[in-house]
Amino acid sequence: LRQSDPVVKVMLPNGQTGWLISTYEDAAAVLKDPRFIKDMTKFVGQEHPSVFSKNMLFSDPPDHKRLRGLVQKGFTPQRIESMRDHIQEIADRLLDAVSGKDRLNLIDDYAFPLPIIVISEILGVPTEDQDKFRVWSNSIIEASNQKMGEDVTRHMNEFIAYLKEWFAKVREQPGDDMISELVIAENQGDRLTEEELYGVVTLMIIAGHETTVNLIGNGVLALLEYPEQRKLLQDRPELIQGAVEEMLRYNGPVEFSTSRWASEDLEFRGQLFQRGDLVIVALDAANRDPAQFEDPDLFDITRGKSPHLAFGKGIHLCLGAPLARLEGEIAVNTLLRRFPDFALEGEIGDLEWRPGMIVRGVKEIP
């Protein structure tokens, strides 16, 4: 596709038609181009399709800047670096719980709970409720794939009820956490509407649940696929930063960007887009483009600085990137150090991948 039809009209699994962009150069260009916008309500003439979607990821300037600005200070590299020791403790605690056993499920026992505990603490929601959040965030992702079954609707209603109760509690007694800061911003009227409060908190929960788990999972799979790279990292743990960048490039957790829309009739790489056309960027395809990366299908943790698009680009560049990187570095190195001989039960090719278009990861790694 990258060679024959780099900008191509396709039918997506959810039945919509849209333009799919697959080369690195075009992907980076679309992500930076202000003619491609995120707020589709301008075209379909309706309210946001879900109570959860009024957030920075689905907004354009100036709303985008305001919404991103409200949570940005919680994610600066300095703020995240200050969490290093605590994240290390969480990783060790999770591995303590399985040491002595001869089998672990890397996803359920480690890759999933680690980022959930961290994001729950940042937001100030009880870590004990993590199982509920897992079900709800899965349902919201399914809803975004247009699979609105009975369960999905019920879960979304339960989630709204939970947040409503939580916000009421926080309004009475704000704490030193991100939801309290957002509720205070909501009280200040013009900074955040109630709908935006739901949207921003939900985005943080979903982003915290559905992404880093797959950085850790897909990263460990790459190490299992390339034993000599695993050995190199085991011998030289200081290579971990480059290793995580390569994991993000080689097996990125977010396969496609979220939807963008052409804001006007326009020409892009010789194709005519009409106002309102849907545009999707294949991030993982761009990250394996031979025009940008030498030997792109090879997993090589010594590539050095990588301009991969795993976190997107432009104004929507992932806000959680410094946190995800730190979590990935600590999780992978701690696993290699504590369980140096870990091995996959079964074959990589038999692992089951999660369905859906945006998030890429396996269901279990035994």
Query: Which residues form the interface with ligand HEM (CB under 6 A)?
Result: 56-57, 68, 119, 203-204, 207-208, 211-212, 215, 252-254, 257-258, 283, 310-312, 316, 318-320, 323-324
As measured in angstroms, the least distance from the Cβ of 10 to ligand HEM is 17
Residue with the shortest CB distance to ligand HEM: 320
In the complex, the smallest distance separating the C-beta of residue 214 from ligand HEM, rounded to whole angstroms, is: 7
Q: Smaller CB distance to ligand HEM: residue 192 or 318?
A: 318
CB of 305 to ligand HEM, least distance (A): 18
Q: How far is the CB of 311 from ligand HEM (least distance, A)?
A: 5
Residue 232 CB, nearest approach to ligand HEM (Å): 22
- Which two three-digit tokens encode residue 352? 């089951």
Q: Report how far apart, in Å, the C-alpha atoms of 16 and of each of 145, 146, 259 are.
A: 11, 10, 11
**C-beta closer to ligand HEM: residue 95 or 324:** 324
Cβ proximity to ligand HEM: between 155 and 249 the closer is 249
The least CB distance from residue 17 to ligand HEM, in Å, is: 19
Nearer to ligand HEM, 21 or 283 (CB): 283
| Residue whose CB is less far from ligand HEM, 6 or 312 | 312
Tell the smallest beta-carbon distance from residue 99 to ligand HEM (Å).
26
Nearer residue to ligand HEM within complex by CB, 253 or 356: 253
Contact 37, 260 (CB under 8 A): yes
Contacts of 245 (CB under 8 A, 6+ apart): 303, 305, 306, 308
Residue (182 or 324) nearer to ligand HEM, CB = 324
Which residue in the block uniquely carries the two structure tokens 């989630």?
159
